[in-house]
Amino acid sequence: MAVMREITYQEAIREAMSQMMRESDDVFVMGEDIGVYGGAFGVTRGMIEEFGSERIRNTPISESAIAGCAVGAALTGMRPILELQFSDFITIATDQIVNQAAKLRYMFGGKAKVPMVVRTPGGSGTGAAAQHSQSLEAWMAHIPGLKVVQPSTAYDAKGLLKAAVDDDNPVIFYEHKLLYRTKCHVPESLYSIPLGQADVKREGKDVTVVATSIMVHKALEAARLLEQDGIDVEVVDPRTLVPLDEETLVQSVKKTGRLVVVYEAVKRGGFGAEIVSVIAESEAFDYLDAPIVRLGGLPVPIPYNPELEKHAVPQVPDIVEAVKRTLAYS
């Protein structure tokens, strides 16, 4: 029997970009230190040797300028992949992304296309402190014209990146820092996972846990612990926030009758509230046997201290407790 190949999340992203660049001269990568250095997290390591400095373009330290160049390149027919070293720095590029990239196709009546992908590492867990550890995906999901992706596995990262590059709209592609070294089976061939297609990572009958990014792995660990108590948890990974696969969420909640939503970003105003609203406004509401539980980060900047950092965002015991709390309703 052939052994299924496993590679890391980091390698899967690099492989997807390299394969797409070999297929099309329109695809190129730009960002700070992505050339010889290989990027802040090593994702582009070795790519400059194959593709050269014209297609692996080191840029000045100016996120606004990088994003503006990407918008211009996309408008003229290229498919740029822009790497921002930390997702926090999207704040510096906001004008170009929010007021230009997101709106131009609409403003030109569909005659202009803006096929650009903003790849950026987000989330806490590396001791990078308050200005380099945020989860700001809800900001981007709020903007019409932007698509937002949060892959939780290497397999998903490769397939979703292919779909993002092929899309004629700007896509914000969040890569959690702690996921870069995680491994799973990833086909060598280039494949695409449609944007807007959720994945049931674990089937269950008692409670639905909808989790995003790194929280998918924490939810799966919590599900394994809860299984020891006879509790069968279904874990659903939206994979893309915009577009959102509402149907899969609704069907899961109709099956289990209970919902826990887990995300790393600050609970207040986080995307988990949107997921809760989808269920509350759907036919699944009538199937609920308990109030919905929402777990998110504390309303504080991410601390540098590792213990405080862990305390600021949901952890496995918090998910276990939340599931047991919703099951306490009969």
Active site annotation includes 132? yes
Taking each helix axis from N to C end, the angle separating 246-256 and 272-280, rounded to the nearest 10 degrees, works out to 70
Class of residue 58 by CB neighbours under 10 A (exposed 0-12, middle 13-18, buried 19+) = middle
Candidates 55, 54, 36; CA nearest to 46 is 36
- Unique residue bearing structure tokens 């309703």: 329
- Unique residue bearing structure tokens 């509402």: 246
Per-residue CA distances from 259 to 35, 82, 201, 290 (Å): 44, 36, 15, 8
Find residue 293's DSSP bridge partners. Answer: 260
Pairing of strands 56-58, 27-31: parallel
Candidates 140, 142, 162, 18; CA nearest to 87 is 140
Q: Annotated catalytic residue: which of 132, 142, 176, 217? A: 132
- Helix spans in the chain (H): 9-23, 47-51, 63-75, 94, 102-107, 137-141, 154-166, 214-227, 246-256, 272-280, 306-312, 316-327
**Three-point CA angle 101, 106, 112, nearest 5°:** 70
Torsion angle of alpha carbons 99, 104, 109, 112, nearest 10°?
-170
Query: In which element (H, E) is residue 80 found?
Result: strand 79-83
Q: Which residues are catalytic?
A: 132
